[in-house]
Amino acid sequence: MSTYLFVIFISFIINFLLIVPFINFLYKKKFQRANQQTRDAFNKPTPIFDKFHQHKKGTPVGGGILLAFTTVFLFFAFLFLYFIFDKEIISNYPSVIAEIKILIFTFLSFGFLGIYDDLNKIFLWQKSQFFGLRLRHKLIIEIFLAVIISYWLFSDLKIDIIHIPFIGVFQIAWFYILFSSFVIVAFANAVNVTDGLDGLASGVLLFALSSFWVVSRTILDVPTSLFIATWLGGLIAFLYFNTYPARIFLGDTGALSFGATFAVVGLILGKAFALPIIGGVFVIEITSSLIQLLSKKYLKRKIFPVAPLHLYLQLKGWEEPKIVMRFWIIAILFAVFGLMVAFGK
């Protein structure tokens, strides 16, 4: 346990020292939230969102870029130290390399997709240009990446079961690829939707990911435990600068990458059923947004005055820090309850 706590601490220190120079670099390169009016999935103006977020225009976007780089670099550095000191890297799967490959590929591939999306929003490229990805194009790429990852989970790690606590284990064979692909895409977008208030997504993810770290330590899976510990240290450092009023935003780079990887961690740990509970806040946020999206498309009217839920609470008069703090409390409760479910027989 002390080894992983050391990893968290070192990761925190390194990210904390790097983040201020990185913020200055983003200002210099004008990698900031655009001052123009934002638009929804149907390319229509979002006046309510703009009303509550106008003061955030110009804040650097791209915290996910730094965290992705430092997490991957430090993860491999710590693995190298394991090798140097001849410490055994125990895995619950046939191949340690395959487990590491899946984690890193998910983390980076969805991160690169997020970079494209961030660049499009910041520099406002036209949709006719290469970088101007439409919503459906972005979703197709997400599904493509998720299927690759799911196939590796199925073929390399031999995962083809779903454990439902207190009921039993069900083998679903190749249907697992479809199931896990849906889960990965869903959580990638859920974290992205939740990343709308200062410290909201990063704080909720910190609590949810901590639960999975407990699970990984319980089953003694070194690669996933080490990866989560490295990731947690960076998240803590980032959250220090992301709390209200935020000095830096996660951006789609971090939101898509972190959401997809959070889902993959849950799948690798065999806790697919506990995943939507531990990540309950993300599920609530994406569900409210999805209901609104479908109602506007097919019913031609809004179910809610505005979505997702955190934006609706702002519209009702709740102050931003109040919403974030209460969502954090709810996230802690979901994380605790999710652990109870995860350890259920």
Q: Which H/E stretch holds residue 3? A: helix 2-28
Residue 265 and residue 211 in contact, taking contact as beta carbons nearer than 8 Å:
no
For 76, 227, 243, 300, 306, the CA distances from 312, given in Å and listed in that order, are 42, 35, 20, 19, 5
Cα separation, 268 vs 32, in Å, equals 35
Residue 252 and residue 63 in contact, taking contact as beta carbons nearer than 8 Å:
no
Q: Which residues contact 322 (CB under 8 A, 6 or more apart)?
A: none
Cα separation, 62 vs 256, in Å, equals 12
Report residue 309: phi and psi, to 5°: -60, -40
Residue with tokens 């225009």: 57
Q: What is the DSSP string of 118-130?
A: HHHHHHT--TTST
For residue 117, say whether it is annotated as part of any ligand binding site.
no
Residue 153 and residue 159 in contact, taking contact as beta carbons nearer than 8 Å:
yes
Give me the residues paired with residue 61 across strands. Answer: 249
For residue 252, say whether it is annotated as part of any ligand binding site.
yes
Cis peptide before 245 (omega within 30 of 0): yes
Tokens standing for residue 302: 């809004």
Q: Which residues contact 7 (CB under 8 A, 6 or more apart)?
A: 74, 78, 226, 229, 230, 233
Annotated binding site for Mg(2+): 192, 252
Q: Which residues are annotated as a binding site?
A: 192, 252
